[in-house]
Chains A and B, each alone.
Chain A
Amino acid sequence: MSKEKDTYLARSEKRTLFRFSALYALLSVVIISGFSFMYYDSQKELTLQEKKAALQGHSKKLLQELKELHVNFDKNRTYPRDEEFESAIYDSDKKLIFSTTPTPLRVDKILYLEDGMIHLVSIPESYYLGSKYVIVKMKDDGVWLQETKKELAIFILVAFSFMLSVGYVLSRLFLKPMRDAIHLLDRFIKDTTHELNTPVSTIVANIEMIDKNSLEPTLLKKINRIDVGAKTISNIYQDLTYIALGNKIVTRDENLDVLRVAQERAEYFKSLADAKKVSLRVESFGESTLYMDKGKFSKLLDNLISNAIKYNKINGSIAISVKAKEIIVSDTGIGIAPQNISKLKDRYSRFNDSSGGFGLGLNIVASIAKEYSLKVETSSKEKEWTKVSVSW
């Protein structure tokens, strides 16, 4: 089993990872966008500078013609035009004197690109015909833009891949302490369960072999106590084995008689319930079958019954109700606070320290339920009752 499969990320850890990823993604987008914009801007500036010389030539020519027009304005009033460029003249109040184009132009910048046209604004030494601002504009062929777009697409792709790789390495580094801690706990459980296997099996098997009818009442009482203790250990052992071995357990699905399995498990837990003076009953509301592995269904039920006993009150009761498509385990126990119900399925979460346990039970229930698409619903009233329904 790989380390990754062993490692379980709880909701809080997933949230931390999500926040880290979101922050990292946001920063990556900001950095990549920043660089892209800077590159685009520099390419645009480069193009403008390249075209500037040509525009300056056009501007000089226009100024010469404006000078002639100014001198001969009483004879000639035709504004000079050129096929290669458009032009406009504005006075010192930025009021348009004449333009060869209907679009209003800006005079607050010297060299700029707007609407696919490159503009150059010149301020001549003498204001021929009152023109303080002489604007010449020519069409931008857009070749640089196509080239820049291509280069930017490649840059964004490469940069994003790089940031993704760095992010992946960082997140692994970031999660390593958490993974190590969880892995250590899982490893400890695995080792412990291995060492518990033989003695627990020996105790349980030997108690079952004792003929209890032939025993004296005092000895029977002691044997029953050992039985309860051994079954408790056996239960914990099975939980730990399930968690440690996970997907490696061989399953054999079959049509189960749910009522029969419920009765078997109730019988198994009878001694534990008796020890806590808790009554345990199985109620049937009709025939019920479920196609599932018997071992896993028993494990699911064991955990629900075990919890119902563990968190019950002295002289309390437990009812296992079997319906056509549902089984409900309800108890008259200490209940669960509303804010804790959603956290029940988290591994190692326990909300009551008065009873023993590792907080694995409902995590196992959730994992088995997920495997067989069973719906688990928990309702509770604190200090009064808890009801866990498993439906299919």
Chain B
Amino acid sequence: MDEGERVMVIKIALTAFLACASLNAGVYETSCVSCHNKLPVSLDKYFYRYLLKHSSEKDVKAAMFGYLKNPLKENSVMAEAFISRFGVKKKSELSDEELKEALDRYWEVYKVFGKLK
């Protein structure tokens, strides 16, 4: 196998790996993390704002779901200065099931339960 063929094989393998990885990624990673990664405020900041206001898993998820389905300035947990600077996000195009799945994952990533020592 010459050098050119070897590079081709590696490219194919890499493409296949990335395709597989993309297939395994959940709706949270594809629809939430991918965009928020490009923003200056990390995802955990939103999570702890919700936690500060709504406390339990059920209430936090319900508030997030409500906001993502109908994002309004009045619904937002973020500070007014934040809204003035970044504005209100667009309404989510995800289905209810997808949104719930994304929120479940979001909760699991940032929840406090079991992390305190």
CB-CB under 8 A for A92 and B56, given A129-B51, A129-B112 = yes
Q: Which residue of A lies closest to B52 (CB)?
A: A126
> Would you call B116 and A130 a contact (CB within 8 A)?
no
Minimum CB–CB distance from A161 to chain B (whole Å) comes to 57
A70 cross-chain contacts in B, Cβ below 8 A: 48, 51-52
Choose among B55, B56, B116, B117 the residue with the greatest number of A CB atoms under 10 Å from its CB. Answer: B55
For chain B residues 47-64, which have a beta carbon within 8 Å of chain A? Answer: 48, 51-60
A84 lies within 8 A of chain B by Cβ: no
Q: Give the residues in chain A near B116, CB-CB below 8 Å.
A: 77-79, 97-98, 129
Smallest beta-carbon distance A190→chain B, Å: 90
Check if B117 sits within 8 Å of A92, measured CB to CB. Answer: no
In the bound complex, how far is the Cα of B112 from the Cα of A95, in angstroms?
12
Please tell me if B82 contacts chain A, counting CB pairs below 8 Å. no
Report the bound CA distance from A98 to B115 in whole Å.
9
A130 touches B51 (CB 8 A): yes
The one of B44, B57, B117 that contacts A91, using a Cβ cutoff of 8 Å? B57
- Report the minimum CB–CB distance from B90 to chain A (whole Å): 27
Contact B115 A127 (CB under 8 A): no
The A-contacting residues of B in range 7-44, CB under 8 angstroms, are 44
Q: B48 to A93, Cβ gap below 8 A?
A: no
Q: A93-B59, A129-B112 are in contact. List 5 more A-B contacts (CB 8 A).
A: A77-B116, A78-B116, A97-B113, A97-B116, A130-B112
Q: Which residues of A contact B44 (CB under 8 A)?
A: 73-74
Can you give 7 A-B contacts (C-beta < 8 A)? A70-B52, A91-B57, A127-B52, A127-B54, A129-B51, A129-B116, A130-B52
CA distance A132 to B55 in the complex (A): 6
List residues of chain A with CB within 8 A of the CB of B51: 70, 127, 129-130
CB distance from A19 to the nearest CB of B (A): 60
Tell me, rounded to whole Å, the shortest Cβ–Cβ distance linking A75 to chain B.
12
A93 in contact with B56 given A74-B44, A127-B51, A129-B112 (CB within 8 Å): yes
* In the complex, A312 has a CB within 8 A of chain B: no
Give B51's nearest chain A residue, CB to CB: A130
Kindly state whether residue A131 has any CB partner on chain B within 8 Å.
yes
Given the known interface contacts A74-B44, A78-B117, A127-B51, the answer about A132 and B56 at a Cβ–Cβ threshold of 8 Å is: yes
Q: Which residues of B contact A97 (CB under 8 A)?
A: 112-113, 116
